[in-house]
Each structure stands twice: as structure tokens, then as C-alpha cells.
Amino acid sequence: MSDETDKIEKTDAQWREQLTPESYQVTRLAGTERAFTGQYHNFKGIGDYHCICCGAPLFVSDNKFDSGCGWPSFYQPAADAPIDEHVDRGHGMIRTEVRCARCDAHLGHVFPDGPQPTGLRYCINSVALDFKPHE
């Protein structure tokens, strides 16, 4: 986990200025992009996925799998990724919300129906991620 001193805090207006409307809606207002519309759900590039808000490395392509759910899915976060998990009781369901611990961006949810070795499916919005290919 990241230590609290590198926590990034910005005002709502600053986030709004930095992010596209779609990224702002998802990461700062806990929205969800429509399934199969994101740029990474069917994407197979080799590299790292960073937080769109603060640039923290969150996921790696090695851990991405084709879940067919319409959002990029990973069976685990990157080593040392600043990931925070919170119980989300919205929409009449109990789910586990996944956030960037560094800047509090909403990323998506984690479900217990993923492949081995973890059995987890981190279902993440494309617009919350910034992909950087390996050289």
C-alpha cells in the first residue's frame, strides 16, 4: 500500500479540468462506463495500466484476462499497486468497490468469480485507466 504522504488531493474543479468528461464521471462520481464501449475491454497490448487521475501503476497486462463482461478484467492488481477496497451498498447490491488509494479515484468493482490463482475479477472501467505499452 502507498504511504499517506504521497496522497494526491485536488479540488473538484481541478479534476474536472484535468479529465475528460467520461473519466471525470467514472473516477470522481463513481460512475460506470457502458459495457463493451471502453477502449480496453478487448485490448491485448502488453504493458502497464496506470490511474488516469494520478498516474499510479495499478494493473499489468500479464494479469488481464478475457472475462467477456465488457470491461477490462484483471485477476489481481499490480504488485504494490495502491488499491483500496470498500463495501459498496449502492444499487441494491453489496459489492466491493475498487479505488486508487493515492487519489481516491473510483476504478470499478472486484467480484469473487475470477480465474485462478486468485479467483478474483477486478472489473475496471477503461476510462479510469491509462495504458502505457512496454518498450
Query: Given the rule CB under 5 A, which residues bind Zn ion?
Result: 51, 53-54, 56, 100, 102-103, 105
Per-residue b or e along 36-60, where b marks 16 or more CB atoms closer than 10 Å to that residue's CB: eebebbeeeeeebbbbbbbebbbbb
Return the number of the residue (7 or 89) whose C-beta is nearest Zn ion.
7
Q: Which is nearer to Zn ion, 102 or 115 (CB)?
A: 102
CB of 54 to Zn ion, least distance (A): 3
CB of 55 to Zn ion, least distance (A): 7
Q: What is the closest distance, in whole angstroms, from the C-beta atom of residue 21 to Zn ion in the complex?
A: 18
* 24/94 Cα distance (integer angstroms): 24
What CA–CA distance (Å, rounded) separates 95 from 54?
Answer: 24
Q: Which of 54, 100, 103, 123 is catalytic?
A: 123
CB nearer Zn ion, residue 26 or residue 105 = 105
Could you confirm whether 69 is annotated as catalytic? Answer: no
* Adjacency order of strands within the sheet including 73-74: 64-65, 73-74, 121-124, 106-111, 95-100, 83-88
Question: In sequence order, what are the beta bridge partners of 84?
Answer: 99
Catalytic residues: 123
